[in-house]
Structure formats: C-alpha cells, structure tokens
Amino acid sequence: MQTRQEALHPLPGKKKPPALHSETSPDHPTPQIPQERPRDNVAGPPHPPPDPLPAFHIESANSDPDELALAASLQKLEQGKVAYSTPVSMLTGQSATVVAHIGGSQVTGLTDAMPSAPGSTINTAPTPISTRMKMSLRSADFDITPLSTEEQEVGGAVPTSWEWTILPRHAGQLQLHLAATVELKDLSRDFVSIDRDIQVQVNKSGAVQQFLANNWQWLLGTLGTGMLAAWRFLASRKKDPAPTSPTPQP
C-alpha cells in the first residue's frame, strides 16, 4: 500500500499513479445548470382604448367640404335631455295624453311641468339638441292625434313641449315609438329612439257602448221587425170571432 509520503514524493523507479479526474478537470467540465429565464407576461401590455365613435360620419371618397363641415357641426351639438310621460296601462275606448319635453343645460326642472296622471310614468334620456328639432310619435296600435307642431325651436331656460292624444285600436300589449330628430340645415337625423309598451285591457262597459254605437241601425231594424210581428199577431187575434157554445136541445 502506498504511504502518504510516497504519494507526495515517489521513490525513484516508481511511477506516479495517475491523478484522479475531478469534476473540475478540463476533460470533465462541471455541468452547467441552466437558469430559468423570467417568464414573459402572458397577458401582454394593455391595449389602448378604442377611439370613440363619432355621432355622425359621412362615408364618401370625395366628400364635399360643406358636408364635412356639416358633420363637424353635428358632432359639436350641445348635449341635453328629453323627458317623456306615457301611460303604463289603458282601457279600450279611453284616450290618454303623451307629453315630451326637450331642454339643454340651462333648463332646470325638466320634468316639473309634466303631467303625472295616475297610471303614467315619467322617464328621461340624453340627446343632442339643435336650435330646431322634431318630435314624432308613431304606432300601428294607436290612433294618434298631435296637439302641437312637430318641428319647434329649442333653447333658453324654458323646455320645449310636445303633446299627443292616443286611443288604442285593440286590447293587448301595444307599443309606441317616440323619436327626437335634430334639424340642421337640410339634414335631419334621429338621435333618440324610444319604444314604450302599454298594456291595454278590454273595457267591458265601454265595449257594450261601442257595440251599441256601431250596430244601432241593425239593432233598431231588428227591434222594429219584432214589434211589427207582434202587432200583426195581436191584430189577427182580435179579428177572429170568439167561438160560441152550442145551444142545448130540450
């Protein structure tokens, strides 16, 4: 066995034993442990918010300068509100009033002057406003009578008002369509479109009155024919002699 001294100082004639290869020898380099790279953000950076859509846009390859100026004017319209009062439920044969107000930022108490009849509701919606506007009320289920001019001037501290009288044509879940239209030069554009559902029930007493009003001629003719037949029957009974009993023979 080789002693420590012989290992350090080998005797003449003896070969030095080969050196053991350590993990750090050139022939066996130290394995490198790969370091974990920082993970990328899966979500990525937040996307920028989309550009707001313009209120009015003209799609034309050769847009006229006047049209572009008009579109820019529409985008710069003052923001206001429209308030409207509609019935929630109705009866057939009975009419109701629909009211709409439009005003800008100078108008306070837009809904204060609106009628609040029992069974009606008041709502508001934002809308751009111009110096002249239209309000229209349409429906295939109602007979609508306008009580104000369709196109009016809007501005100042007093709201502009529109009114209509509606009469249901039949019972059921009926619908009204209310639209606010901006008038600017020769251009008209609907910025607010509102649909309201109204439950209409059959009015029993009104149905009888409506039936009599629509069929009085037929009823009168039927009643006259019946009365004439009864009179003829009674007259024929009076003309027939009363039967006489035979005289007994003695």
The answer to whether position 216 is within a domain reads no
CA-closest candidate to residue 133, choices 187, 177, 73: 187
pLDDT score of 210 = 61
Give the CATH number of the domain where residue 113 resides: 2.60.40.10
Residue 76, phi-psi category: left (phi > 0), alpha (psi -120 to 50), beta (remainder): alpha
Which one is predicted more confidently, 24 or 229?
Answer: 229
Whether residue 51 has pLDDT greater than 80: no
Whether residue 244 has pLDDT greater than 60: no
Full domain range(s) for residue 125: 75-204
d(CA 200, CA 174) in angstroms, rounded, equals 7
- For 166, list phi and psi in degrees, rounded to 5: -120, 145
pTM of the model: 0.57
Whether residue 125 has pLDDT greater than 60: yes
Kindly calculate the radius of gyration of the chain based on its CA atoms and give it in whole angstroms: 48
- Split into its structural domains, the chain has a count of 1
Start-to-end CA span in the chain (Å): 187
The answer to whether position 22 is within a domain reads no
The answer to whether position 100 is within a domain reads yes
The answer to whether position 183 is within a domain reads yes
Grade residue 223 by pLDDT with cuts at 50, 70 and 90: confident
The answer to whether position 101 is within a domain reads yes
- In the predicted model, what is the mean pLDDT of residues 83-88? 93
